[in-house]
């Protein structure tokens, strides 16, 4: 498909304004362009067709099943988009007088109350604009806490090897060094390994529970106790909360700080790079360190880590989250979690015979299968299967993550898929299994039905072409 710049036609355009009937006022010389802007020129219908054609090449949640593990690509109610688009929300300015923004203040107040309740935390801050940003802010709270106690030796953050990549990255950004611990054979935290690395230099632990292999760590209380006993703090990466929301609370598991991705679990679509919201919750003793630039500052700010973003972050994401919470209510939020877990287990069981899961036992909202054996016996990789799934009209699951499982396919159906969709997905997987037995070579050519076939992934990652350079 041609780029819009390659379709440009000199002289074309779609301006329908009447000719100017007042004298032109030219810009002063210093402000005027020396060369005309390089803008594409197309007729209106060409522009319209160009963008429609682009839209047809995209695969999103609105197009089909999208089981991208560790990223919760679920269907989000369109009603919440309508609500976030109401002019009272979109037209508001954060510096308006309070008496003109009562509705917006109420949104923040209620969202904070409900999210605190779900988190089991005492305070909630809306500034961070993404999950990684929330982790960064949360770890600055750890740092400020240890500094306030003149405990300068605590420089290390413990991160299990199954963690999302943003965890170690945020720890380094916040000025800590990272201590990696290997997971046990059951995919969970190895308590002895944890004990061996905790000590007077431990600033804290970062954990996702359920973790990225979809398992709820049965030793969670012991894990957080070990870290607390050593003088460290516990950080809960709650990017994907759909497995536990309304069922168990990070605060009750022994965590001191948590972030939620409102753009994964609470009804803002994601995948296009934003806007998002990585709200951060914390326990009482950390409240003095929270950012205070939002509508409801949690303290006088004397010990605050400073602002990580202006005002209340991406407010319209909070509007969607509140709409979602109010629609579901206290009764149905746990139902989201139950369905997320049920759907994942249903699909896992349907695939088990042909694609056994990497870890035994029931899973939470996602599960991981390993193609290691099929690769050894038939030369078929996780990538081949992912591409073959595209041919069958679904988005591939996450592949080659987590790193602790070889030839990993990490599948999260999400709570919003029907049994029919899950049955279709299982059928697609099983037909790929048949294809592997019949003609495994043919899988290396997949996908054959998509607009772009198999790009050179190394080239695409190492030398991405992200910008049009005119000839």
Ligand X SMILES: *Cc1c(COP(=O)(O)O)cnc(C)c1O
Q: Which CB atom, from 238 or from 251, has the smaller least distance to ligand X?
A: 238
The closest of 395, 399, 397 to 365, measured between CA atoms, is 397
When the beta carbons of 205 and 436 are compared against ligand X, the nearer one is: 205
Nearest to ligand X of 237, 256 (CB atom): 237
How near is the Cβ of 205 to ligand X at its closest, in Å?
15
Q: What is the smallest separation between the CB atom of 131 and ligand X, expressed in angstroms?
A: 2
Provide, rounded to whole angstroms, the least separation between the CB of residue 214 and ligand X. 11
**H or E stretch including 202?**
strand 202-207
Q: Which is nearer to ligand X, 69 or 291 (CB)?
A: 69
Query: Using alpha carbons only, what angle is made at residue 269 by residues 340 and 420, rounded to the nearest 5 degrees?
Result: 40
Minimum distance, C-beta of residue 139 to ligand X, in the bound complex (Å) = 13
CB of 341 to ligand X, least distance (A): 17
Residues lying near ligand X in the complex (CB under 6 A): 70-71, 130-132, 164, 166, 208, 237, 239-240, 261, 276, 278
CA distance 141 to 255: 13
Taking the complex as a whole, how short is the minimal distance between the CB of residue 78 and ligand X, in angstroms? Answer: 22
Going by C-alpha positions, the residue among 174, 296, 288 that lies closest to residue 235 is 174
Would strands 233-238 and 257-260 be described as parallel, antiparallel, or unpaired? parallel
Among residues 146 and 264, whose Cβ is nearest to ligand X? 264
Taking the complex as a whole, how short is the minimal distance between the CB of residue 140 and ligand X, in angstroms?
A: 16
Positive or negative CA dihedral for 293, 295, 298, 301?
Answer: positive
* Per-residue exposure over 355-369, b if at least 16 CB sit within 10 Å of its own CB, e if not: bebbbeeebbbbbbb
Closer to ligand X by Cβ: residue 278 or 313: 278
470 φ, ψ (degrees, to nearest 5): -65, 145
24: three-class secondary structure by DSSP: coil
Per the CB < 8 A criterion, the answer to whether 145 and 289 are in contact is yes
Q: Cβ closer to ligand X: 65 or 401? A: 401
Q: Shortest Cβ distance from residue 213 to ligand X (Å)? A: 12
Closest residue to ligand X, Cβ-based? 131
Would you report the helix, strand and coil content of the chain in percent, each value rounded to 5? 40, 10, 50
Q: Choose between 154 and 164: whose C-beta lies nearer to ligand X.
A: 164
Cα end-to-end span (Å), the chain: 18
304: three-class secondary structure by DSSP: coil
Q: Give the single-character DSSP code of 137.
A: H
């Amino acid at each position: 498909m041609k780029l819009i710049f390659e379709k440009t036609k000199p002289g074309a355009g779609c301006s329908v304004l009447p000719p100017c009937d007042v004298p032109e006022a030219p810009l002063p010389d210093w402000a005027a362009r020396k060369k005309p802007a390089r803008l594409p020129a197309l007729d209106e219908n060409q522009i319209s067709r160009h963008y429609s054609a682009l839209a047809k090449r995209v695969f999103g949640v609105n197009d089909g099943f999208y089981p991208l593990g560790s990223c919760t690509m679920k269907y989000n109610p369109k009603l919440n988009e309508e609500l976030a688009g109401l002019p009272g929300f979109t037209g508001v300015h954060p510096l308006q007088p309070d008496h003109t923004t009562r509705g917006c203040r109420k949104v923040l107040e209620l969202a904070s109350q409900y999210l605190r309740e779900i988190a089991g935390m005492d305070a909630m801050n809306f500034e961070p604009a993404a999950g990684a940003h929330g982790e960064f802010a949360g770890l600055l709270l750890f740092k400020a806490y240890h500094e306030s106690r003149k405990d300068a030796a605590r420089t290390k953050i413990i991160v299990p090897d199954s963690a999302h990549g943003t965890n170690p990255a945020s720890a380094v950004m916040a000025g800590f060094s990272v201590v990696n611990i290997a997971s046990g054979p059951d995919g969970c935290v190895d308590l002895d390994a944890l004990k061996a690395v905790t000590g007077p230099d431990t600033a804290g632990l970062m954990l996702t529970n359920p973790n990225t292999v979809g398992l709820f760590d049965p030793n969670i209380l012991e894990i957080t106790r070990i870290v607390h006993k050593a003088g460290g703090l516990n950080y809960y990466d709650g990017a994907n909360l759909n497995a536990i929301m309304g069922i168990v609370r990070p605060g009750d598991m022994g965590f001191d700080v948590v972030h939620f991705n409102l753009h994964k679990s609470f009804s803002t679509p994601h995948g296009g790079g934003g806007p998002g919201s990585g709200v951060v919750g914390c326990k009482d003793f950390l409240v003095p360190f929270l950012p205070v630039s939002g509508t409801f500052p949690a303290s006088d700010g004397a010990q605050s880590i400073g602002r990580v973003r202006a005002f209340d972050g991406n407010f319209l994401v909070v509007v969607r989250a509140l709409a979602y919470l109010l629609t579901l209510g206290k009764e149905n939020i746990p139902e989201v979690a139950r369905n997320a877990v049920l759907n994942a287990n249903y699909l896992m069981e349907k695939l088990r015979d042909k694609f056994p899961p990497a870890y035994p036992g029931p899973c939470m909202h996602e599960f991981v299968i390993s193609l290691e054996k099929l690769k050894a016996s038939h030369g078929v990789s996780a990538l081949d299967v992912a591409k073959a799934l595209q041919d069958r009209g679904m988005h591939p699951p996450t592949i080659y993550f987590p790193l602790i499982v070889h030839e990993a396919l990490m599948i999260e159906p999400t709570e919003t898929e029907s049994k029919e969709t899950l049955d279709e997905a299982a059928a697609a997987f099983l037909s790929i299994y048949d294809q592997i037995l019949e003609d495994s070579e043919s899988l290396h050519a997949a996908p054959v039905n998509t607009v772009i076939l198999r790009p050179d992934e190394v080239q695409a990652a190492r030398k991405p072409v992200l910008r049009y350079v005119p000839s």
